[in-house]
Chain A
Amino acid sequence: MAPHDLRRPFKRAAISDQQRRRDLTLQRQAQGRRDAQQQARCLASTVLSLQSQSTQPEYEPDIELEPESLPDLLPEQEESGASSKDLDVRHASKLKGAEARKWFARQLMLPEWMIDVPDCLAQDWYVFARPAGKRCFVVSSNGTTVSRQRNGSILHRFPSALPNGAKTRDVSGPSQSYSILDCIFHEPDQTYYVIDMVCWRGYSLYDCTAEFRFFWLNSKLGETGACSPPSFYHKYRFSTVPIYNCDQSGLSSAYTGALPYVKDGLLFYNKHAHYQTGNTPLALVWKDENCSQYVIDTDSKGQVPSQQQVVLELQDDGKLITSDDPPVVFGCLDLDFIQKEIFYVLLLVMEVEFVDGKLEKVDLHYLGKVNRARAFPDSYSKMLEALILYEKKGKKKLTTGGIQISYAICFFEHAFSLV
């Protein structure tokens, strides 16, 4: 008598491995299709041409390693080639060694120093306290997470709970998707504070407004478990920072509020601005002694030296430029002075003159080569800020003051005095 149609002969053939092979194949193919689809969907929106950086030299600055800069573990210094013109983020997330350093060095959005109070500050801007620490890009993809500092060198390579950030059996997302976060690594509590989200699960957020990016950041990061305490598959904790509107209470919370991290100034982000690489006036930084211990250069005894240092880039023709785009030129060095290996100089600011709020004349004194970990010269606004703070310290009176600068200082002093 044959078994009932519906009854599996109980003791036999509990397994059909062939069916299992078929099913597993179908699963793999479906995953492959999803990945391919996902990749295609993200491609166009993340193409970031490096050609916009054309004012930058095409070669890697040949500077020496300082002991404190973290060595890249991967084989590097290979021929970087000139193929880096049309890189997109997806490609970039796979870059290794020198190529990667070079690429990432140019991808962070860098705030200008606040020397002027933007219009509609209260309506259009966010403010948050910047955690003290190393600014870096954190990229999670293919089961690993890598953090890179501003100069492109690797800070950590570690497993994390970010999407595809560790080799776990998480099949919730396409295996090739990547995420890129703009972070500050805060040494004291070994935490990555996420200050911006650039890509998430392969979706580019470059051309999204800050408002959207912060919303996304706050709603997505927690879902992954990345904010949980460290574990085997999650070596460092991630955390968001409290972001405020720039109204009275927001400013005061950011300025004086108690936070789990050491503050290093305030960051201001324009709500409508896209993520723009390099210096942008749509992100601003403010520092004073109340909210940062790194306001101005101090010597080993904590004393403010009589001179402030600024880094400028020395170009082939002897021009000294800032990191701004377009760069601001600060005079010219005597070409005889240029030795081949020197590309950056340290500057001593001695005499300055403002005309219509612009820095007109400075005395530059060459101090020496910068350390290799530096990838950029300072920006124009940083120089101005340094000067303002220098003046406030009473070290030297500025002979002429820009009205706007004074106004900014007044505004903040007033705002913060109400706190």
Chain B
Amino acid sequence: MAMEVTQVLLNAQSIDGNVRKQAEESLKQFQEQNLPSFLLSLSGELANEDKPVDSRKLAGLILKNALDAKEQHRKFELVQRWLSLDAAVKSQIKVCLVNTLSSTASDARSTASQVVAKVAGIELPQKQWPELIGSLLLNIHQLPAHVKQATLETLGYLCEEISPDVVDQDQVNKILTAVVQGMNASEANNDVRLAATRALYNALGFAQANFSNDMERDYIMRVVCEATLSPEVKIRQAAFECLVSISSMYYEKLARYMQDVFNITAKAVREDEEPVALQAIEFWSSICDEEIDILEEYGGDFTGDSDVPCFYFIKQALPALIPMLLETLLKQEDDQDQDEGAWNIAMAGGTCLGLVARTVGDDIVPLVMPFIEENITKPDWRQREAATYAFGSILEGPSPDKLTSIVNVALNFMLAALTKDPNNHVKDTTAWTLGRIFEFLHGSTVDTPIITQANCQQIITVLLQSMKDVPNVAEKACGALYFLAQGYEEAGPSSPLTPYFQEIVHALLTVTDREDAGESRLRTAAYETLNEVVRCSTDETAPMVLQLVPVIMTELHKTLEEQKLASDEREKQSELQGLLCGCLQVIIQKLGSSEPTKVVFMQYADQIMGLFLRVFACRLATVHEEAMLAIGALAYASGPDFSKYMAEFFKYLEMGLQNFEEYQVCAVTVGVVGDICRALEDKILPYCDGIMTQLLKDLSSNQLHRSVKPPIFSCFGDIALAIGENFEKYLMYAMPMLQSAAELSAHAAGADDEMIDYTNSLRNGILEAYSGILQGFKNSPKMQLLVPYAPHILQFLDSIYMEKDMDDVVMKTAIGVLGDLADTLGSNAGSLIQQSLSVKDFLNECLSSEDHMIKESAEWAKLAISRAISV
């Protein structure tokens, strides 16, 4: 058998497809027939020094995949499967794995260390394999070096895999000691030192206690800083990665090291190789992130309760930090504006400069202005570009007071540069900077307008002209126009853009037609800008928006006529369909929002719906999503008239609800079901069996992304509200589903922020479902059917109130449900409500809420309850 496995594993990597397929098939059979023996022979293969490295490596990988998966439910299954294996089998496998760490073949060692970490990830939380860490630590003190290296690597993976509370502090101390010793300059072997440095990166999360102790922290910091000076570039990079991680994890402990760290990072940024320099810049970006968070959270007002005070590291480092960052801006790559994935020192430096501006505000301006003034007119394009980039980077953060006068002077210069500068990089950055000016210094909230009647014409002329420039410049010009339009969103009944509306729309449509519009996402930018221009338009230009409808429809029609395309062309075609559906969606929403334009628009409804249905023949998920969103907007605008499309549309609605893989499509479709419910009201009844079946399936699927489930519950409410007492037949399915979800979501204790957010969105969905169902049955004799569920609903309200971790949205919905109970069930609920322990407190808390919507709902609930009780 063992011989056979080797050959099969080698065959599975054969270049010959048939051989490979056959080998994969027999591996699969072997696994299905006898899992313990399969895993044993794989671990034996991995541990066997006489076997070829390739078969050993693959054996290790298959083992690893037998222990872990990306999908949550699959992962859970694999964990259970491993735990249920015979103890003797597991123990034999683990011996093989640990032995392999001493192998002379580095690939075998490296694979084994990953598998060990996976097994540890399953067993340590179960209090199994207690001897693992001890035996690994013994290895550390062994020679040869490669064993040490593999062991450190294993410790690193292990820390990545398990949560710190699984390991007791004594063992943590031992792990950290071993790791830090391995990093020490006295360690002669670079492989060991690198493995140790990378292991520390993962182990930092375990070091809470050690970072609270001055001596231990000093020691760790010293070793990390020393490692940044290693002659080996990978060690330097790994050490800076540790510093970045420390900066966000232990921000409040950094004060005494900042001077040293600044010196190291400055040297790295100026002199070191790019991967190291990028990490050094990242350290400062990360400090900015921390300080921005702290300042946002506390508004600079620190009291004894504040978790973490702001140490103003950035503010203090400013005089030295700014020159360092400005230097990086001059290190542009020649083609960076064309390369979507580019990331280099100049880009990282500019990004950091922008973060610094957000952190310190006004203080940055005088430090950057001399650089801009000195370089902006230089003959070398790098200097002009760097100066412009610096200017664009500091536009968010400083106050408009500080910036307005400077921007007013700069604006003319920028407009001239955008038309006249001979260099595309400079023009690209100039257009981007104009966009930033409009994004942050133009709009109804700004006191002194940058754009006036005097310069509006010129700005628009320059931007429209730039849209004819090379694709990357034209794309940035579209972006600038996007923010220009956005700034007039609140302009009132008359927009300064009205006189240019036709011209702007024409220019944007011309851009979408350019041969090279596929480059630099130019076409996308043009449609997105068109969308924003439409969104921000006023009644004055409604006739022109109406004229746009047949234009976009014709474009969409064209894409549907083209056939027999090559696969990459098909993809482009689908992308274009997505953009056009998106544009139509925006137009429908705009025209549908006022009665006079809606009436005129509706003459196109049949044709548009016809086009959307044809788009569903396309395969790409994003297109489905866009068409679905547009149909939602159309249903909203059409109201009950939408029922005529339902027969044809329904199958696509069902398909959308079945799309587990592309969960965005599923989520959007669920939202559209809500739109249709509100549009059709009880006319949706004939389709409800199909919809409800699908929604219930979605809820019970563990494949579907969890974020879709709360909206599905809300959708129950939409349906119930639309069909009223006809919801009766779904009660027996929906109610138990809601009850068990309610029990799950009642407590999120000890969960992280993300889990609490999810729990709250789930609660909100459940509550919206209850609300819709209760209101749907109001005034119906069948209301009696809901009476048995009332105690549970009240109990749910009770428990989320007691939990004290609901957000404002949940609070508003919850207090509304209390009112719905009283409103629909009347005296049936009255006595229950009076008996409830916390309801009165909850109501009073909501009545005195600062939140307008919560208060409003609470007042209504109070009214409903007083009626229910008085009856």
Contact = CB atoms under 8 A, between A and B. Distances in A.
Given A37-B775, A40-B778, A17 B675 contact: no
7 contacts: A11-B347, A17-B532, A25-B632, A33-B714, A41-B823, A44-B778, A207-B867
Contacts of B578: 18
A9 B343 contact: yes
Interface residues of A, number: 39
Contacts of A358: none
B656 interface: no
A203 B531 contact: no
B863 interface: yes
Interface in B766-782: 768, 771-772, 775-776, 778-779
Interface stretch (B274-282, B508-516, B643-651, B829-837): B274-282
A9 B864 CA distance: 53
Given A25-B633, A33-B718, A201-B856, A1 B589 contact: no
Interface of B is mostly: helix
B586 interface: yes
A33 B626 CA distance: 21
Contact of B675 (A18, A29, A45, A208): A29
B347 A9 contact: yes
B844 to A, nearest CB: 16
B531 A17 contact: yes
A340 interface: no
Given A11-B350, A11-B432, A22 B285 contact: no
Contact of A10 (B278, B351, B823): B351
Nearest to A4: B282
A14 B438 CA distance: 13
Given A172-B852, A203-B863, A29 B721 contact: no
Contacts of B282: 4, 7
B729 to A, nearest CB: 20
A203 B718 contact: no
Contacts of A15: 479, 482, 528
A35 B560 CA distance: 37
Contact of B674 (A21, A22, A32, A172): A32
A43 B827 CA distance: 18
A169 interface: yes
Nearest to A6: B289
Interface of B: 274-275, 278, 282, 285, 289, 337, 340-344, 347-348, 350-351, 354, 389, 393, 428-429, 432, 435, 439, 479, 482, 490, 521, 524, 527-528, 531-532, 578, 582, 585-586, 589, 622, 626, 629, 632-633, 636, 668, 671, 674-675, 678, 714, 717-718, 721, 768, 771-772, 775-776, 778-779, 816, 819-820, 823, 852-853, 856, 859-860, 863-864, 867
A36 B718 contact: yes
Nearest to B340: A12
Contact of A208 (B527, B632, B863): B863
B772 A37 contact: yes
Given A1-B278, A25-B633, A7 B668 contact: no
B774 to A, nearest CB: 9
A234 to B, nearest CB: 15
A142 to B, nearest CB: 9
B606 to A, nearest CB: 22
Contact of B585 (A21, A40, A43): A21
A173 B855 CA distance: 12
Given A21-B585, A203-B863, A29 B632 contact: yes
Contact of B343 (A2, A24, A37, A43): A2
A389 B263 CA distance: 99
Interface string A90-127: 00000000000000000000000000000000000000
Contact of A203 (B342, B678, B860): B860
A403 interface: no
Contacts of B337: 11
Contacts of A18: 578, 582, 622, 626
A172 B852 CA distance: 8
A7 B351 contact: yes
Given A33-B714, A40-B776, A14 B341 contact: no
B582 A33 contact: no
B589 A28 contact: yes
A96 to B, nearest CB: 13
A29 B765 CA distance: 13
Given A11-B347, A25-B671, A172-B852, A37 B771 contact: yes
B343 A1 contact: yes
A350 interface: no
A11 B776 contact: no
Nearest to B622: A18
Nearest to A205: B863
Contacts of B775: 37, 40-41
A1 B675 contact: no
A43 B778 contact: yes
Contacts of A2: 341, 343
A336 to B, nearest CB: 51
A419 interface: no
A28 B816 contact: no
Nearest to A32: B678
Interface of A: 1-4, 6-15, 17-18, 21-22, 24-26, 28-29, 32-33, 36-37, 40-41, 43-45, 169, 172-173, 201, 203, 207-208
B867 to A, nearest CB: 8
Nearest to B629: A25
A18 B768 CA distance: 26
A45 B826 CA distance: 12
Given A10-B350, A33-B717, A41-B860, 18 more contacts: A4-B278, A4-B348, A7-B351, A10-B347, A11-B432, A13-B521, A15-B479, A17-B582, A21-B531, A32-B678, A33-B674, A33-B714, A33-B718, A37-B768, A41-B816, A44-B778, A44-B823, A169-B490
A28 B535 CA distance: 14
A14 B482 CA distance: 10
A41 B818 CA distance: 12
Contacts of B678: 32-33, 36
B717 A44 contact: no
A3 B343 contact: yes
A340 B437 CA distance: 76
B769 to A, nearest CB: 11
Contacts of B816: 37, 41
A22 B629 contact: yes
A25 B672 CA distance: 9
A17 B633 contact: no
Contacts of B350: 10-11
Nearest to A220: B859
A40 B867 CA distance: 16
A7 B622 CA distance: 24
Nearest to A37: B771
Contacts of A40: 721, 775-776, 778
A10 B354 contact: yes
A155 B765 CA distance: 45
Q: What are the 9 tightest A-B residue pairs by CB atom distance, in nearest-first order?
A: A17-B528, A40-B775, A3-B343, A10-B351, A32-B678, A29-B671, A1-B343, A11-B432, A44-B779
B586 to A, nearest CB: 7
B341 to A, nearest CB: 6
Nearest to A14: B479
Nearest to A208: B863
B671 A37 contact: no
A173 B812 CA distance: 13
A3 B531 CA distance: 29
B521 A41 contact: no
Contacts of A3: 341, 343, 347
A15 B435 CA distance: 11
Contact of A21 (B490, B524, B582, B772): B582
Contacts of B717: 33, 37
Contacts of A12: 340
B852 A41 contact: no
A40 to B, nearest CB: 4
